[in-house]
Amino acid sequence: MFITLEGVDGAGKSSHLDWLKNWFELRGHRVRMTREPGGTPMGEKLRELVLHDSMHPDTEALIMFAARREHIEQVIRPALAAGEVVISDRFTDASFAYQCGGRGLSESRLAVLESWVHADLHPDATLLFDLPTEIAAQRLASAREPDRFEREKTDFHARVRAAYLRRAEQFPQRIRVIDGSRDIESVRLQLTSVLESLT
């Protein structure tokens, strides 16, 4: 099973990574945790570039997909073939949300990259951590040094959020929206009910 986690910066998905891994391991699954951009040695180098150097929005999208190409080849496909549950902290929905919603790239151009890089591979389920962007911004303000995306203004994050929610409407079977504005316990109850419906 291939599961992806998504949401605006500050939506809180990182607080649940270990818990999600445990949830599957307790049920006898081997779990491969990974992330994008990144997930491979080359992908991590590309992550450094794309999170910190300024560049044209097309370049940004192309780097996301270049890193993704390696990630799929070296990590995701082999792990799925070995019967592992793969949990990726972000995947292609993030490109639609950030590069199209946030930066304004056309969805049809991005769809070309998607079908080039992974026409035949899609997440089985996507957990979308959603919350008002003002709350996300408050949470980020107390966090570490912001990267290029986290430094963007509120309207950028509002567009990213809206793009994620549009994707959730487009793919209601796959994308499950989690109310990330609630406390950790309530988020875990929501996650449990989604995970139980998947397994």
Q: Which stretches of the chain bind ligand TYD, using CB under 6 A?
A: 9, 14, 36-37, 64, 89-90, 94-95, 98-99, 149
In whole angstroms, what separates CA 170 from the centre of its chain? 17
Is-contact 118 33, C-beta < 8 A?
no
The residue type found at 54 is: S
The least distance separating ligand TYD from the CB of residue 105, rounded to whole angstroms, comes to 11
The least distance separating ligand TYD from the CB of residue 50, rounded to whole angstroms, comes to 7
Question: Which of the 8 DSSP states describes residue 87?
Answer: E
Q: Which is nearer to ligand TYD, 30 or 148 (CB)?
A: 148
Dist. CA 161–CA 175, nearest whole Å: 14
HSE-up (13 A, CA, CB side) for residue 5: 25
Q: Which is nearer to ligand TYD, 37 or 123 (CB)?
A: 37
The least distance separating ligand TYD from the CB of residue 9, rounded to whole angstroms, comes to 5
Q: Which is nearer to ligand TYD, 56 or 83 (CB)?
A: 56
Q: Which is nearer to ligand TYD, 24 or 98 (CB)?
A: 98
Tokens 């500050």 belong to 10
